[in-house]
Structure 1
Amino acid sequence: MKQRLIIGGMFAAAVAGLPGISLAGDIASIQPIGFSADGKVFAFQEFGIKESDKAPYSETYFIDTDSGQYLEGTPFRTELTDKDANLSKARRQNLTAARSQMDKYDLLTNPGLIAAFNPPTELGSPTKTLRYTTLAADGPPKAPYTLSLGELPVSTPKECTAVDKRVIGFSLQVIEKEGAPNRQAARQATAVPAERTCSVEYRIGGAVVYQPEAGNQVHIALVLAFDAERNGRWIAVPVHP
């Protein structure tokens, strides 16, 4: 039922794709769709306008939260090149293609909680750590979690040999769990999927949390991967603290 190790894209933040940002490439926006009732499946839509040819694109990913792999037959990808193409049309077509899978897992019923978001437009924020709580409430943070992002060396794939920067993978650790120090290796990405193969930099950009009625919480770490042209694409990493 699973195809390949993902670490692949996510999260609804229109600000992430704002024009006028100082980066040269395009940074995708990302919209979480939701979880299956048991938390075993998570989906999100990533979308934007390509800097190279101005083509609108939209992609919907379905992830097995145990393995971190794409579900079989996914993701759904849409890119429009016709003269009347626009982002709205690309997103609608893409969601229509993905709708049967969304309904199969009843994802719109379980949106989860956007516990933290740290886009590249957020000035002065850490790029490698993220601290959040799993309860949406005022007052002092209750039982917070902290994620820490590291970089890992990887062998340069042949399709990336022309890249003039070092291609890298990443690691993710839970260094704080419910307010206590922790050293849990959540996920190591020594080999990233094809669409993220030539990544040269990563930023930890957010977290989504879901509590199934029966079972443990599921955390989704949102990682933004940059290629050498400064195009940014999202990676959704399942975490089980």
Structure 2
Amino acid sequence: MTTSGRAAIVLAAYLLAAGAQAGDFSTFQSLGFSPDGKVYAFEEFGIQDGSGFPYSNVYFIDTEKDAYLPGTPIRVRIDDEAAGIAKARAESRDKAKALADTYDVLDNPGVLAALNPMGEGNVDRMRIEYVQHAIEPTPGGSFALALEEIPLPLPEKCREITPDGGKGFRLKLVRRDGEAADTVVHADTRIPESRNCPLSYQISGAVTFNAFDVKPVHVALVLVRSFGFEGADGRWIAVPFRP
């Protein structure tokens, strides 16, 4: 069979499955920051499409290097359709406890400053604006992030699944403390295998951390839609930056 023939079969199966079933979009849960803002942690969890298995992933991110801490992410999947999400979450939290305690993230939640989940209608999926403090009157001005999808080479495993080409993203800070800005805070140079053949991206939220004698840390929340067994799956990417 030709490459184009295999691609057509894969795409037809995908469209048929998407019409009859549904992919899964994980739930996002912010956990918090280390007291110095150098580490940020969050969890995503849900029921895996196709298998019906519950899963929970806990991420610890070095906010200065924009990289995972060694030994993370912590990924748990319970290979039992009868198991509940609570079991997967309890197991991942247990495995993450040592790091959570070391970096004291649960005592420093920060502020969930904005969140546009995939189900919210009439929103701009490529731009989000927020304020960094959860107090009123709010000091300072607003911040805004803009996302742009950029073409990138596809991983080998995706070439028959997403024939329209590979997509990465570029993220800019376009408003800083009430003033116009034009600062790139992230730009993909490749598509990581972990994104599972991305179909699209949206800027879905922001978390901020402000503490005495610590430079503010912001985390952009990007939702990536990727190829799944029964439809598009949604997973979370956290991009830290210092505005």
* TM bracket (short chain): 0.7 to 0.9
2:208: which partner in 1? 209
Instruction: Tell which deviates more after alignment, 161-170 or 115-124.
Output: 161-170
- Please give the secondary structure, in 2, of the residue aligned with 1:217: strand
* Structure 2 portions without partners, runs of 5+: 1-19
Residue in 2 aligned with 1:190?
189
- Does structure 1 residue 230 correspond to structure 2 residue 232? yes
Task: Report what 2:78 is aligned to.
Answer: 80
* Conservation of the 8 A alpha-carbon contact between 2:61 and 2:68: yes
Equivalent residue number for residue 67 of structure 2 = 69
In the alignment, which residue of structure 2 is the partner of 1:135? 133
Alignment-derived partner of residue 176 in structure 1: 175
Following superposition, the deviation at residue 194 of structure 1 comes to: 2.6
Partner Cα distance (2:21, 2:177) in 1: 36
Residue 120 of structure 1 and its aligned partner are, at CA, apart by: 1.2
In structure 1, C-alpha distance between the alignment counterparts of 2:38 and 2:186, rounded to whole Å: 17
Cα distance change on mapping 1:138 and 1:121 into 2, 3 Å: farther
Letter of the 2:102 counterpart = K
Q: In angstroms, what is the RMSD of aligned CA positions?
A: 1.8
**Deviation for aligned residue 1:215:** 2.5
The sequence identity of aligned pairs, in percent, is 39
Query: C-alpha displacement at 1:152, in angstroms?
Result: 1.3
Task: Name the structure 1 match of 2:101.
Answer: 103
- Of the structure 1 ranges 108-117 and 184-193, higher mean CA displacement relative to structure 2 is found in 184-193
Partner secondary structure for residue 231 of structure 1: strand
TM-score by length of 1: 0.86
- Deviation of 1:161 (Å): 1.4
- Alpha-carbon distance between aligned partners in 2 of 1:68 and 1:121, rounded to the nearest angstrom: 28
Q: Which string of whole-angstrom CA distances, capped at 9 and with x for unpartnered residues, describes residues 98-143 of structure 1?
A: 1000001011110000000111111101100000011224568841
- Of 24, 34, 37 in structure 2, the residue corresponding to residue 36 of structure 1 is 34
Distance, in Å, in 2 between the alignment partners of 1:174 and 1:142 is 16
Say if 1:214 and 1:137 are closer, same or farther in 2 by CA, change over 3 A.
Answer: closer
Q: State which structure, 1 or 2, has the greater radius of gyration over its C-alpha atoms.
A: 2
2:63–2:240 contact (8 Å) kept in structure 1 = yes
Checking the alignment, whether the CA contact within 8 Å between 2:155 and 2:193 is kept in structure 1 is no
The structure where helix makes up a greater share of residues is 2
SS at match of 2:198: coil
Secondary structure of the equivalent of 2:141? Answer: coil
